[in-house]
């Protein structure tokens, strides 16, 4: 989002539910996002495309069935 103009510059599409967290990389045009669908996605901001997805809930050591899939 362009804060000065109040307009959106890009939309990153891929999650299917509410996004709970975002992490921006300091020296790279990449961002990580995690949401209620149980996926963590890595985005390259230059072309505004998803680079990688990890469905965390599918990994036994990270699974929390009592809490749901959300990250």
Question: For 17-67, where are the E strands, in sequence order?
Answer: 19-24, 30-35, 39-44, 49-55
The pLDDT tens digits of the residues spanning 2-59 come to 889 999 888 889 888 899 999 998 899 999 999 988 899 999 999 989 999 999 888 8
pLDDT bin (cut points 50, 70, 90) of residue 65 is: confident
Check residue 57 and give its pLDDT: 82
- Domain 1-70: CATH class, spelled out: mainly beta
Spatial CA neighbour of 37 closest among 71, 60, 13: 71
Nearest 5°: the CA angle 65, 33, 31 is: 155
Distance CA 53, CA 60 (A): 17
Length of the chain: 71
**Residue of higher predicted confidence among 71 and 5:** 5
Check residue 23 and give its pLDDT: 95
Spatial CA neighbour of 38 closest among 11, 61, 13, 20: 20
Check residue 52 and give its pLDDT: 96
């Amino acid at each position: 989002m362009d804060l000065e103009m109040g307009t959106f510059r890009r939309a990153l599409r891929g999650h299917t539910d509410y996004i709970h967290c975002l992490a921006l990389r300091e020296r790279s045009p990449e961002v990580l996002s995690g949401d209620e669908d149980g996926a963590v996605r890595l985005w390259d901001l230059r072309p505004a495309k998803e680079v990688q997805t990890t469905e965390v809930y599918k990994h036994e050591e990270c699974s929390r069935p009592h809490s749901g899939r959300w990250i």
